[in-house]
Amino acid sequence: MSAEMLFALSTLAGWAAWFFVVMAVLAGLRLAANAPGIDRDSAKRSLVVCSVGALLGFLVCFFTPADLGRQIEGEGVRIPAVWFYMHFWGWAALSGAVMGLTSLIQGYLAVSQEERTNKLKWMGGWLIFAGASFWLFKWIAPQVTIFRGAFFLSPATIGIAALLLFGSLAFLAFSTRRATTRSAGKTMWTHLALLAGCAIFGLPFAWLLSSSFKEDRDLTGGVMWIPKVTETTAYFDPNKPQFSGQAYGMEVTAEPTKDLGNGKFQFDIVAPFNMRGRTFEAAKSELKVVPKQVPIVNGDWDGTKFRGRVIEELGNGDRRIEAMEPANLAGQVRDFKRDQAPDSRPDGLRWKNYPEALQYLPPETNFGLVYLKNTLILVVLSVIGTILSCAIVAYAFSRMRFPGREFLFKVLLATMMLPGAVTLMPQFLIFKNLGWIDTLQPLWVPAFFAGAFNVFMLRQFFNQIPMELEDAAKIDGCSFLRSFWTVMLPQVKPALAVIAIWTFMGTWNNFMGPLIYINSPENMPIAYALQLFSGERSGEPGLLMAFATMTMLPVLALFFFAQKYFIEGVTLSGLGGR
């Protein structure tokens, strides 16, 4: 058995053992509470089964070698973690096996023969599903990649988590003794389960946000949740000075590389990053000398702890360091190996990732403002076009009587069955003949031609509005258009809000449309820019995470601010008899 599989077996056995420990404690607390309605025989069986399961898990974990494959440094208790990368059918087979085992345990702990038979039937069904999924997995893509990792928790954190967990279990067990506290216990447990689910599903976003403030060295080699920042200080380098001035119409930082004579020098631009590689000519007197930001290090200087700054990186990997503290060593210079004087890296956030990510964008994009402008144009026009066109068409199909109305509505619904790939080429040829390639028109003009799904949903909403409202408006002299705008449209605000949110999110995240129709960087939206940034800067994950965070924050903010309308619209659309 490979080292990866042994590590996975040991890790999963350890996690399963602790799960059985929690379940055994819950069963024991229920026996101790002696609440009315509790089947003591079932609770005793549950206690025995969970205790045996915990013991077996700890034995497997103890006797199975768990080689992480690399060194991970951290403070506190090391918690192993493992993840499997495999095809969908592999996950389906694993899920079916877990559910089958769960049904078997539930059948053994059942309090009646009928319940036991029912659980065993479910076990058989899950095992059949797992077997079929495993066969498909072996046939389609049998490769499995095992990722090994670990994270560290302080003993205080583990103690607090255990206290909260077992305290809530005790409250849940003893709250069943009285009817007045029984509902409170169930409510608390439900909320704890929901909070745990939110925490689990929020981990990817938390990791993205945390990684956007990390240095690149912290994104490889292990899991580190709390970012660290390398301390730096200003240093005027007498051998390789840096200058600041105007070039190419913007403020740049550069280093002189060649003496051109007559007081002129050739300068290589080092910042902003999107200007690196460019050169310009200027006299040193026309520019201003600026300091470099060099790392601060901590080390040992002949038995004395010192703090210094790196003034030169030597070719053999050593570093020339000038002492800063203590006072008796200040100003002295000595060469150190990197491990003898490591960088000072306290916990903190590297805010520079965000401006540096924008600086890597092409100069013609004005630090990403061009991408933002194009995206806002597409979002605003698409939302307006979708709401107006779909509302007008839905109102016509709902309230107006004309020959062939039902037939045309069915034809409209039939367009939903056409795959997007079928209409892709005809649309491209139409836009090409109109001269719209490499413009934004192909991305927002179709929004003013109503989509079938939105028309169908709004038509259902309009059908639920009483005809008496429209009849009263007609008696008051309102035309169809006036009745639509002042009477009917305000009645479907939740549905319009849902359509607006869907359209906003779809347009903001649209990647395929710009990929097909846009060629110039100055016409690209943010979604396409993110893909280009990912391809060009994949070796700098910290900047990539920062740019990805900036692109998704507007959508996330919109969802939270418009959550009320979103949920209300979805709820109403599911109540056909309202």
What value does the mean pLDDT take over residues 551-576?
A: 68
- Pair (165, 21) in one structural domain: yes
* 128, pLDDT greater than 90: yes
Distance in angstroms (rounded) separating the CA atoms of residues 338 and 334: 12
307 domain residue, yes or no: yes
Residue ending a domain, choose from 153, 185, 219? 219
Task: Collapse the DSSP code of 354 into the 3-class scheme (helix H, G, I; strand E, B; otherwise coil) and give the result.
Answer: helix
Kindly state whether residue 321 falls inside one of the protein's structural domains.
yes
User: Same structural domain for residues 186 and 242?
Assistant: no
Q: Are 555 and 492 part of one and the same domain? A: yes
For residues 109 and 192, state if they share a domain: yes
Question: Is residue 93 predicted with pLDDT exceeding 80?
Answer: yes
Residue 387 has what pLDDT?
Answer: 92
Per residue in 446-499, pLDDT tens? Answer: 999 988 899 998 898 888 888 888 788 888 888 878 888 888 888 888 888 888
Over residues 226-244, the pLDDT tens digits come to: 888 888 888 888 888 889 9
Same domain, 343 and 367: no
**211 and 247 share a domain?**
no
Task: Write down the residue that tokens 């003591």 correspond to.
Answer: 40
Average pLDDT score over the chain: 83
**Could you tell me what percent of the chain has a pLDDT over 70?**
92
Asked whether residue 227 is domain-assigned, the answer is no
Q: Is 578 a member of any domain?
A: no
Q: What pLDDT shows up at residue 576?
A: 41
Residue 358 lies in a domain: no
Clarify whether residues 62 and 132 are in a common domain.
yes
Spatial separation of the C-alpha atoms in residues 273 and 308, rounded to whole Å? 28
In a domain, 224, yes or no: no
Lowest mean pLDDT among 32-46, 102-116, 358-372, 558-572: 558-572
pLDDT digits (tens, 9 = 90+) for 379-421: 999 999 999 999 999 988 888 888 888 899 889 888 888 888 8
| pLDDT for the residue 378 | 93
Task: Examine the domain organization and report whether 394 and 528 are in the same domain.
Answer: yes
Q: What is the average pLDDT across 89-104?
A: 88
Domain of residue 17, residue span = 3-219
The secondary structure of 77-131 as a DSSP string is: EEEEEEEEE--HHHHHHHHHHHHHHHHHHHHHT-SSHHHHHHHHHHHHHHHHHHH
Give the tens place of pLDDT for each residue, 70-85: 777 777 888 888 888 8
pTM, entire model: 0.64
Are residues 154 and 270 both part of a single domain? no
Residues 485 and 523 in one domain: yes
Please report, in angstroms and rounded to a whole number, the separation of the first and last CA atoms in the chain.
61
Question: Does residue 473 lie in a domain region?
Answer: yes
pLDDT band for position 185 (50/70/90)? Answer: low
Which residues make Cβ contacts (< 8 Å) with residue 126, sequence separation at least 6? 96, 97, 99, 100, 103
387 with 264, same domain: the answer is: no
Judge if 118 and 80 occupy the same domain: yes
pLDDT computed for residue 194 by the predictor: 76
Calpha distance 49→23 (Å, rounded) = 10
What are 514-522's contacts with CB under 8 Å, separation 24+?
514/443, 516/424, 516/428, 517/428, 517/431, 517/436, 517/437, 517/438, 517/439, 517/442, 517/443, 518/438, 518/440, 519/437, 519/438, 520/438, 521/362, 521/364, 521/365, 521/370, 522/364, 522/365, 522/370
What CATH code is carried by the domain that includes residue 553?
1.10.3720.10
Domain count, the chain: 3
